[in-house]
Amino acid sequence: MSNLTQKILITLGFLLLYRLFSYITVPGVDVDVIKTIFNNNAGNMLQMANMFSGNAIEKFSIISLGIMPYITASIIMELVAASFPSIGKLKKEKDGMQKYMQIIKYSTIFIAFVQSIGVAVGVYALDPTSILIDKNLFIFLAMLTMVTGTMILVWIGEQITQKGLGNGISLIIFAGIVSGLPSAIVGTFELMNTGEMNLIVLLGLIAIIAITTLVIIYVELGERKIPISYVKQGEIQSTGISNFIPIKVNIAGIIPPIFASAILMFPTSMLSGTKNETLMYINDLLQPSGYLYNIITFLLVIFFAYFYTSIVFNSKEISQNLQKQNAYIQGIRPGPATEEYLNTIVSRLTLFGSFYLALITTVPWIIVQSMGIPFYFGGTLVLIIVQVAVDTMKKFQAEYNNENMKTKLNSSKL
């Protein structure tokens, strides 16, 4: 068995394990009543969260919280690392990185603990008949099983990243969304049969999805290629190094929309089922159908696009590496001038990329809502599906090329 085949099987195996966990319910709940509660809350944050979890919420599964507590913890740590240099240095050291990841995991447990209690109390408040056992015992079991379920997902994500193909956390979110698509399609045809949706609306929905997908593919594959030259003539041909620096138009990738979604899901999960009028009003404002939610999402996506780009793109390091390789950007002096030039290019790309992400995240959802379609569809979902699929295919292609190279080298030795 080839190394590539082994990685594919490992990835599929862990994703299958993830899907199996979505069918294990929290002890002490009436799943039929939970489904009724879910149907009565269609179109709000609950349905959006359900799409991210692969319909685990409507089953009240042990992985109902999904991977979002881990993402929320990662956001907090990234903000802390950016604010405190001593924490930021941990990421650059091997032993320090292990401590950094441990802090994220402990934070994940705490966030999952708080959210699980909020969800359990919220479900009981919405319909006490959904709970078949003592309330306090149910809250304890929900907390225990949901925290465990979230940490299992974190472990699965790590195993996929280390032993499989692609980024484990992204693939878990991807698998959750894709697994929910069949039920969304079936629900669409049911709306057609009942007359709640006509053919024109359906065609409009298909057109929105198609246009959104094409825009995402076009932008995600876009690159700004910065020409570089080498001091020694012929070095490019002899070393095989590309004669340009590729910088993606959307440098931040899918991280900003995911971060924004995780941030907004946290308060709504805590406020679900509250009877306080003020808190109920705040919870209603933070639902995806409201304008405030989309305005906050728009702003958060732009903020995280700039924030994450500043983390992943290090112009000073690139400038230093170019000097070490006796290379320079054509028409730009090496050193600080190169660093400044790269920062200018990245700033312009980030400006475009951040607004692209913000518009993709909010506009399709607003249009769908205005059409009266009673289920969640947003550009965030399409963005995640397309980008994770593209990134995974690139990694597959790289692994495939490496295996072919090794096979050719072994054949030449023989």
Q: Are 269 and 118 in contact (CB under 8 A)?
A: yes
d(CA 282, CA 285) in angstroms, rounded, equals 5
Angle (nearest 5°) at CA 141 between 135 and 145: 145
Q: What CA–CA distance (Å, rounded) separates 138 from 69?
A: 21
The Cα 411–Cα 390 span in angstroms is 31
Other Cβ atoms within 10 Å of 126 Cβ, number: 19
DSSP per residue, 354-366: HHHHHHHHHHHHH
Q: One digit per residue, pLDDT tens: the chain, 414 residues?
A: 678 888 999 999 999 999 999 889 999 888 888 878 776 665 566 666 777 777 787 788 999 888 888 988 888 888 888 777 787 777 777 778 888 889 999 999 999 998 888 888 878 887 888 888 998 999 999 999 999 999 999 999 999 999 988 889 889 988 888 887 777 777 777 777 877 777 887 788 788 888 888 888 888 888 888 888 877 654 444 344 458 888 998 998 888 888 888 788 777 766 665 667 777 777 777 777 777 888 888 999 999 999 889 888 888 888 888 888 888 887 888 888 998 999 999 999 999 999 999 998 888 777 777 766 655 566 778 888 888 888 888 888 888 888 777 777 777 665
pTM assigned to the model: 0.79
C-beta neighbour count of 139 within 10 angstroms: 19
Cβ neighbours for 210, distance < 8 A, ≥ 6 positions apart: none
> Tell me, what's the pLDDT at 71?
87
8 Å CB contact between 174 and 381 = no
Please tell me whether residue 61 adopts helix, strand or coil conformation: strand
- Residue 229's DSSP bridge partners are 328
Measured over the CA atoms of residue 93, residue 157, residue 392 and residue 181, the dihedral's sign is: negative
Residue 374 DSSP symbol: -
> Is domain 197-414 classified as CATH 1.10.3370.10?
yes
The domains of the chain are located at 1-180, 197-414
pLDDT for 413: 63
Pick the CATH number of 1-180 from 1.10.3370.10, 3.40.47.10, 3.40.50.150, 3.40.30.10: 1.10.3370.10
Identify the pLDDT of residue 373: 62
Domain 1-180 and domain 197-414 have a common topology: yes
CA–CA separation, 248 and 251 (whole Å): 5
Q: Count Cβ atoms below 10 Å from residue 299 Cβ, excluding itself.
A: 12
How far apart CA 242 and CA 230 sit, in angstroms, is 11
| Alpha carbons within 13 A on the beta-carbon side of 363 | 12
227 phi and psi angles, rounded to 5 deg: -65, 140
Measured torsion, CA atoms of residues 224, 230, 231, 234, in degrees rounded to the nearest 10: -150
Say how far residue 413 (Cα) sits from the centre of its chain. 44
Query: Is 105 in contact with 77 (CB distance < 8 Å)?
Result: no
Strands (E), 290-403: 327-329
Token pair of 400, please?
A: 């495939």
CA distances from 395 to 7, 155, 166, 201 (A): 11, 21, 7, 38
